Structure formats: structure tokens, C-alpha cells
Amino acid sequence: MSTNKEVISDWQLSLQNNYGTPTIALSNGIGCEVWDVEGNRYLDLLSGIATNILGHANPEIVRAISEQSKALSHVSNFYAHPNVVNLAKKLKTFTNDESARVFFANSGAEANEAALKLSRLTGRKKVVAMKGGFHGRTMGALSLTGQSAKQIPFKPLLSDIKMIAFNDLKEARKAITKKVAMVIVEPIQGENGVVVPDAGYLSGLRELTEKTGTLLVIDAVQTGMGRTGSWFGYESEGIVPDVITLAKGLGGGLPLGAMIALGKSASLFEPGSHGSTFGGNPISCAAALAAIRVIETDNLQEKAREIELSLKLELSKNPIVSTVRGKGLLIGVLLKKPIAREFVGELQSRGILANAPTQDVIRLAPALVISQEQIEEFIQKFKEVAVTYER
């Protein structure tokens, strides 16, 4: 048996240093629990990185993957596959739009690249995106990402992209003109520290973009697939966007992204406009269909909304906590001091996995199958770490 130390030292000798060096190596998991190569157990409050929407080794997903891998692992997009069609049909029903059409990709960045290319086919070039937003790391998606530290080393990026303040309709009103092809926005800015806009913000953007004929692109890569208590994370605003992008939780832990275009924008792509060799892989689509089936039959969206309330109530009792924000099972714990990274390290040494997207926010994005006992275990360990900072 190898040790964490051995794996990490080999990691340093063989992998690029773009992620920074991890401290443990994970080997297996079930539900919300994972074990490292030395057999230490952790409670996974991140579910991969908001990807394993039903946790690890969910039996329905395991069955779907293994059955499909015995039948066919890949068909090119020269041919149709029932899983791909069934998943697209299912996603369409969540949009309530008969005219919606789906393009499958492998990741969030690719889904947003597809949206960006789609917007060019409106004949316009300008894009409005949000400061603090995150849409991926490829050159197009990075151009949309409103975080200068990630952008600066890679300039020049795409031109004609205007960054405006998130949750500010006044700025949006000035920026969104008839020359703007698309506006891209997350229902909650996950990577920016789980920043939730005011009620009425997304519907305000919808109103503005409707007037100028601009595509409203909702990046639901992190908020999607039931995590925030609804399929995409914008439904409480009562809007119909032009484009929805998905990835992370969509494939139930397998790589899968989607760009869903609604209404008139659904017919902008024509044969030859875009493509992806692996996009809409039948195994990933089988996993996605299984995940959706379980989310529906076990009412996991409702459960996410319930756990949100108890997490907010209990975590905000700790004096070090300034506020607990987010929706469903996408939660940001804002601390009164910039110690989030250190705090996460302390949690890990007590067997809890979470992460710190910013210096004062701890992000929780557990699988929707997390149990009440596991939530209580987390709250207890959180409290243990929190009191050490109160002295």
C-alpha cells in the first residue's frame, strides 16, 4: 500500500504544477464518504467539485455506466444514440420550451465556448459579462471570466467583452445595447465565493436583453442539476433565458457539458457550425440519465432546500461566521477573518473535505444524497475548528 506522501511526491515529479500540490490522495468512496490511500476516512462536503451530484459510487449510476460500457462506449456524431437523444429530451422538459435544442460538450468551458460561438451567429460581436464571474479556462471562456488574476498572464484575450459589476442593474442598463450579442451570468457566482444576487436581478437582465434582442446566457454549470433546489438555479426569477450552459453535476461524476438554446436561438447553429468528438458520449449520457432519475424519484431538490435551512441556522451560530449564504446545497460560509484556507486545512485534518474559493469564504457543495447524520457530523467538526479561532 502506498502512502499519501509517496503519491504526492510522485505527483510533484510527474504532473504540472497548475493546481498547486495536494496533501492527500483519494482512492475510493461511497455516497458522501471518501477514503485516502492510507485508509483514512473523510466526509466529502464538495462532491468532487460539485460534480458527483449523487455522491460516490451511486449504485444506479454504476449500473448505468457498466451496462452502457458493455454495449458501446462511443459513437461519433455521424450517428445518433438513444441515450444522447433521451437525455436531450429530458433536459428540454426542464426548460419548458418545445423549441429548445441541446448541444453536448465535455465540460463547462466547452459549453460556454459553444454559447459564445452561437452568439456570433446573431451577427453581433459584443459581449457583456460580470466582474467576479467564472466561466472556464479556455481562451474564449477565460475572456468571459471576470477575474483579472486568471486573465492577465494570458492577454490578449477576445476583444469586445465588457465586464460590469454583478448584481448592478444600473450598470447593466448602460452596457446592454442593440450591439450586444450576449450577456452571460451565473445565477450564483460560485467561484467568486457563492455570491447570491438580489431577487429581481436576473429578471431585470431578462427585461433589458429582451428589449435589445440580446441573448441572455445563464451559466448553470455550478448551480445546475438540482443543486440549488431547482434544475438550473434561475427558476425562482420566473424567466426564460435564451441559452443555458451545464456541466459539473450533469454527468453524475462523468465528464459531460451541455449548451441548451431556447426559442429562436435554437436554430442558429447549422451543420458545420460547431462540434465535439466526445461531446454527448453514450456512457456519460447514461450516467446523467440515471442521476436525473434518482434526483426526481427521491425528491432530492426538496431535500437540498431543507438542508440549506439547517446548515444556515447552525453554522451562523459560530461567532467566527459573519453570514451563511447560498441556495440549496451550494453554500458559502463567510468568515469574519481572511482565514478560510487555513480553516479548510483544519477541517481536513479532522476528516472533512471542503474548499475556500476566496480568503474569507468556505464553500460547501455536497452531494444531494447527504444524510442528516452527516450534516450533524460536519456542523460538530466545524464548531470544533471555529472555537480555536475565537480565543
Catalytic hit among 94, 134, 378, 382 = 134
CA angle 160, 164, 168 (to 5 degrees): 150
Phi, psi values for residue 235, rounded to 5°: -60, -30
For residue 111, the minimal CB distance to ligand PLP (Å) is 7
Amino acid (one-letter) located at 341: R
Instruction: For strands 257-261 and 321-327, give the pairing.
Output: unpaired
The residue (of 109 and 118) whose beta carbon lies closer to ligand PLP is 109
143 binds ligand PLP (CB under 6 A): no
The residue (of 126 and 227) whose beta carbon lies closer to ligand PLP is 227
Give the interface size with ligand PLP as a residue count (CB under 6 A): 14
358 binds ligand PLP (CB under 6 A): no
247 binds ligand PLP (CB under 6 A): yes
Complete edge-to-edge strand list for the sheet that includes strand 180-185: 101-105, 257-261, 243-246, 215-219, 180-185, 126-130, 161-164
Cα separation, 318 vs 321, whole angstroms? 5
Can you tell me which of 42, 94, 134, 166 binds ligand PLP, judged by CB under 6 A? 134
47 binds ligand PLP (CB under 6 A): no
136 binds ligand PLP (CB under 6 A): yes
Amino acid (one-letter) located at 370: I
The stretch near ligand PLP (CB under 6 A) out of 115-123, 130-138, 315-323, 371-379 is: 130-138
Q: At what angle do helices 300-315 and 372-388 cross, to 10 degrees?
A: 20
Cα separation, 130 vs 162, whole angstroms? 8
The stretch near ligand PLP (CB under 6 A) out of 59-67, 217-225, 338-346, 373-381 is: 217-225
248 assigned to active site: yes
The stretch near ligand PLP (CB under 6 A) out of 64-72, 104-112, 123-131, 329-337 is: 104-112
Phi, psi values for residue 246, rounded to 5°: -135, 155
**Residue 317 burial (CB count, 10 A):** 11
186 binds ligand PLP (CB under 6 A): yes
For the record, the C-alpha cell of 311 comes out as: 446548515
Q: Across the chain, where does the E strand assignment appear? A: 26-30, 33-36, 41-44, 101-105, 126-130, 161-164, 180-185, 215-219, 243-246, 257-261, 321-327, 330-335, 352-353, 355-358, 361-364
For residue 368, the minimal CB distance to ligand PLP (Å) is 17
The stretch near ligand PLP (CB under 6 A) out of 17-25, 35-43, 101-109, 279-287 is: 101-109
Per DSSP, the three-state class of 41 is strand
Amino acid (one-letter) located at 5: K
Site string for ligand PLP, 187-206 (x = CB under 6 A): ---xx---------------
For residue 198, the minimal CB distance to ligand PLP (Å) is 19
Partner residues linked to 379 by β-bridges: none
221 binds ligand PLP (CB under 6 A): yes
The residue (of 221 and 369) whose beta carbon lies closer to ligand PLP is 221
The residue (of 333 and 386) whose beta carbon lies closer to ligand PLP is 333
382 assigned to active site: no
Give the CB-nearest residue to ligand PLP. Answer: 108
Can you tell me which of 222, 281, 301, 318 binds ligand PLP, judged by CB under 6 A? 222
Residues with a known catalytic role: 134, 219, 248
For ligand PLP, the binding residues (CB under 6 A) are 107-109, 134-136, 186, 190-191, 219, 221-222, 247-248
